[in-house]
C-alpha cells in the first residue's frame, strides 16, 4: 500500500491563523490602556507618569519582576481550570473554592508528612488536585444527571469551601503561637525548591521564585496537549462545540461533563497547593487574593487557549503589582487597575458582537467560494 502524500497547513497559514487569534485580545488590552489614559486625563492625572510607574513597578527590578511572576503563577493554574471547563461548554465560576479546599488539605498534610522531598512534593500536589477535583465532583454529577446549572452549583460549593477552610484553619489547624489565623508551617521537605537552590550560579542571592513557575508552564503545555492531541480532549471540545454531533459520534456526554469539571477542579486545587508549598509555606485563612475569580478573566482573555493563559496570567499579575506602583509614582488610585481589567473583559466579551459581524461576512464569502468552485468545475466539464 502506497501512502498518499499528505499536505500540511503551510507555516504561513498557521502564522496567519495565530496572528488572527492574537489580534483581538491584544487589541482589547491596547484599547483598555487608551481608555484608562482618557480616564486619568479626565481626572487630572498624567497618564504617561501613571503607566510609567505601572510598568516600572511591574517589571523593572528583580524584586518587582519576581512579584509579578509570583502573582501570575496561581493565575496560570486557575486560568487553565476555567479555560478547560469552558472548552467543554461549562462555566466553572467556583474555582476559588476548589483552590481553597485543595490547598487546605495539601497544606494540612504538609505539616504532618515526613518523607523525602522527591515523594513529599508529588504526594502533596496530588492531594491538592484530588481535593480540588472532589470539590467540583458534585456540580459535575448534578449537571450530568439532572442538568443543574454549574454556574449555580460551583458557586455554592465555592462558598461552602470558603467557610469550611476558614473554620478548619481557625479551629483545627491554627498554630497556637500565631497571632493571625494560620496553620503550622509545612515541613522542610514539603516546600518547593527556589531558583537559587536549583540554579545557584544564576541566582546568587536568595529569591522567592520557586519551581512552581516551571510547573505552571509545564501544566499549561500538558493541558494544551490533552485538549488538542488526545481522544479525551477531542471529546471535550466536541461536547463544547456541538453536543448533539458529539453524541452521534459516540462521545459520552455525561462522563465528558464530569471529567471536564474534575480536571478543572484539579487545576484549581493545584493553584492553591503551589501557592502554599512554594510561597506561604503554611495555610492562612483566606490566603487567596481571588485567584479563582481572576482566573475567569485570564481564561477569557486567553480565549480559552491553554498556552494563551500564560501571557494573560502575566498581564494580570503585572497589573495588580504595577497598580501599587502607579499609586506611588503618580498618585493615581489603584482602582484604575480594576477599570482596566473591567474594560478588557468587556471588550473580549464583546467579541461575540464583532465575531457575529465577521461571521456574516464569512458566510457571504463562503457562498461566493462555493460558487467559484462550481463554476471552476464547468471548465473541466466543457
> How far apart are CB 355 and other proteins at their closest, in Å?
11
CB of 53 to other proteins, least distance (A): 43
Conformation bin of residue 230: beta by default, left when phi > 0, alpha when psi is -120 to 50: beta
Residue 174's DSSP bridge partners are 183
Residue 239 burial by Cβ neighbours in a 10 Å radius (0-12, 13-18, 19+): buried
Positions that interact with other proteins (CB under 8 A): 3-4, 6-9, 13, 225, 229-231, 234-235, 237-238, 241-242, 244-252, 362, 364-375, 377-378, 381-382
Orientation angle between helical segments 231-241 and 62-87, nearest 10 degrees: 70
Q: Give the burial class of 68: count Cβ atoms within 10 A of its Cβ; 0-12 exposed, 13-18 middle, 19 or more buried.
A: buried
> Closest separation between CB of residue 253 and other proteins, Å?
10
Give the shortest CB-16-to-other proteins separation in angstroms: 11
Least Å from the CB of residue 369 to other proteins: 7
Cβ distance to other proteins smaller for residue 41 or 218: 218
Distance from C-alpha of 104 to C-alpha of 131, rounded to nearest angstrom: 9
Those residues with Cβ within 8 angstroms of residue 362's Cβ, 6 or more apart along the chain or in another chain: none
- For other proteins, the closer of residues 286 and 359 by Cβ is 359
Residue the block writes with cell 459581524: 357
Q: How far is the CB of 152 from other proteins (least distance, A)?
A: 24
Q: Kindly tell me which of 251 and 279 has the beta carbon lying closer to other proteins.
A: 251
Dihedral of CA atoms 311, 313, 318, 321 in degrees, nearest 10, equals -170
Residue placing its CB nearer to other proteins in the complex, 20 or 201: 20
Cα distance between residue 177 and residue 26, in whole Å: 48
Minimal distance, residue 304 CB to other proteins, in Å: 13
**Residue 270 is placed in which grid cell?**
493545584
How deeply is 254 buried, as exposed, middle or buried, from its count of CB atoms within 10 A (0-12, 13-18, 19+)? middle
Task: Output 5 or 204, the one with its CB closest to other proteins.
Answer: 5
- For residue 375, how many C-alpha atoms fall within 13 Å in the half-sphere facing its CB? 6
Q: CA 11 → CA 4, 21, 52, 227, 305, distances in Å?
A: 21, 15, 37, 21, 19
* Residues 85, 261 contacting (CB under 8 angstroms): yes
Q: How far apart are CA 71 and CA 68, in angstroms?
A: 5
* Least distance in angstroms from the C-beta of 362 to other proteins: 8
Burial (CB count within 10 angstroms: exposed 0-12, middle 13-18, buried 19+), residue 350: exposed
Task: Say how far apart CA 106 and CA 270 lie, in whole Å.
Answer: 9
In the complex with other proteins, which residue's Cβ is closer, 159 or 225? 225
> CB of residue 368 vs other proteins: minimum separation in angstroms?
4
Alpha helices in 199-334 (DSSP H): 212-229, 231-241, 243-248, 253-275, 291-301, 309-330
- Residue among 103 and 235 whose Cβ is closer to other proteins: 235
Nearer to other proteins, 223 or 251 (CB): 251
CB of 222 to other proteins, least distance (A): 12
Q: Which is nearer to other proteins, 99 or 263 (CB)?
A: 263
Task: Give whichever of 7 and 179 is closer to other proteins, judged by the CB atom.
Answer: 7
Amino acid at each position: 500500500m502506497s501512502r498518499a502524500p499528505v499536505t500540511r497547513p503551510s507555516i504561513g497559514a498557521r502564522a496567519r491563523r495565530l496572528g488572527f487569534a492574537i489580534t483581538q485580545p491584544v487589541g482589547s488590552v491596547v484599547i483598555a490602556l487608551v481608555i484608562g489614559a482618557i480616564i486619568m486625563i479626565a481626572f487630572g492625572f498624567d497618564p504617561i507618569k501613571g503607566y510609567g510607574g505601572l510598568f516600572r513597578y511591574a517589571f523593572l527590578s528583580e524584586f518587582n519582576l519576581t512579584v509579578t511572576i509570583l502573582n501570575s503563577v496561581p493565575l496560570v493554574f486557575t486560568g487553565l481550570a476555567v479555560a478547560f471547563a469552558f472548552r467543554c461548554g461549562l462555566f466553572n465560576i467556583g474555582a476559588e473554592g476548589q483552590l481553597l479546599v485543595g490547598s487546605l488539605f495539601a497544606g494540612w498534610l504538609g505539616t504532618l508528612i515526613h518523607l523525602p522531598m522527591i515523594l513529599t512534593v508529588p504526594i502533596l500536589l496530588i492531594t491538592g488536585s484530588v481535593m480540588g477535583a472532589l470539590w467540583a465532583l458534585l456540580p459535575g454529577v448534578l449537571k450530568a444527571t439532572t442538568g443543574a446549572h454549574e454556574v449555580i452549583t460551583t458557586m455554592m460549593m465555592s462558598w461552602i469551601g470558603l467557610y469550611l477552610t476558614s473554620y478548619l484553619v481557625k479551629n483545627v489547624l491554627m498554630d497556637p503561637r500565631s497571632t493571625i489565623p494560620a496553620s503550622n508551617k509545612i515541613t522542610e521537605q514539603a516546600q518547593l525548591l527556589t531558583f537559587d537552590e536549583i540554579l545557584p550560579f544564576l541566582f546568587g542571592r536568595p529569591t522567592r521564585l520557586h519551581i512552581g513557575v516551571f510547573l505552571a508552564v509545564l501544566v499549561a503545555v500538558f493541558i494544551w496537549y490533552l485538549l488538542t492531541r488526545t481522544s479525551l480532549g477531542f471529546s471535550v471540545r466536541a461536547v463544547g462545540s456541538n453536543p448533539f454531533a458529539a453524541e452521534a459520534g459516540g462521545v459520552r456526554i455525561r462522563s465528558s461533563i464530569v471529567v471536564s469539571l474534575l480536571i478543572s477542579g484539579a487545576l484549581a486545587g493545584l493553584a492553591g497547593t503551589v501557592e502554599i508549598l512554594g510561597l506561604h509555606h503554611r495555610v492562612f485563612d483566606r490566603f487567596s487574593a481571588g485567584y479563582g475569580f481572576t482566573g475567569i478573566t485570564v481564561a477569557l482573555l486567553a480565549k480559552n487557549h491553554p498556552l494563551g493563559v500564560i501571557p494573560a496570567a502575566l498581564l494580570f499579575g503585572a497589573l495588580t503589582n504595577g497598580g501599587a506602583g502607579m499609586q506611588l509614582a503618580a498618585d493615581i488610585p489603584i482602582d484604575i487597575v480594576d477599570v482596566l481589567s473591567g474594560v478588557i473583559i468587556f471588550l473580549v466579551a464583546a467579541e461575540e458582537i464583532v465575531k457575529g459581524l465577521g461571521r456574516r461576512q464569512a458566510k457571504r464569502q463562503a457562498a461566493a467560494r462555493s460558487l467559484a468552485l462550481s463554476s471552476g468545475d464547468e471548465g473541466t466539464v466543457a
